[in-house]
Amino acid sequence: MTRILFVCTGNICRSPMAEFILKALVKARGLQDSFYIESAAVSDEEYGNPIYPPARRCLHQHGVWFDPSKTARTVVPEDYERFDRIICMDSSNIRWIRYIIPSDPEKKIHLMMSYTGSGRDVADPWYTGDFERAFQDILTACEAMLDVRK
């Protein structure tokens, strides 16, 4: 089983979107038994808060189921042992995660868009307001991630 942790700044927009997008793709491909998927934050500023309403609306508009009881949590050092991949939405998240998980000897920490062959960030819709663009970037990267697995 591949265990994936998606990470963003607050765990209320991009990383929960990625969590539920990948869960939907995995389910559509009949791979539920092959993956365990969660999301978390590098910051504790949103700890305990639900998925941000515009992110929820975006998932709903695309027919992506999400757990309405999902709340933000913070990455902890133990996550390094619990997960096979820790996938960050942007380079700032990678810098911040190095304070929580200072060493990556198994090369588990990745940038989300690296799965598409790009080194760019998934723009933060908290600041841009463009949840659709974030959704499309995340969807493209998740599909690429699954295609690499074949």
Alpha carbon 33 to its chain's center: 19
137 an active-site residue?
A: no
8 tagged catalytic: yes
What DSSP letter does each residue of 84-124 carry, written as one string? SEEEESSHHHHHHHHHHS---TT--EEEGGGGGT-------
Which entry of 88, 124, 137, 142 is annotated as an active-site residue?
124
Q: Are residues 115 and 136 in contact, defined by beta-carbon separation less than 8 angstroms?
A: no
14 assigned to active site: yes
Active-site residue, selected from the candidate residues 14, 58, 79, 121: 14
92 alpha-carbon distance from chain centroid: 14
Residue 12 contacts residue 46 (beta carbons within 8 Å) = yes
Known catalytic residues are: 8, 14, 124
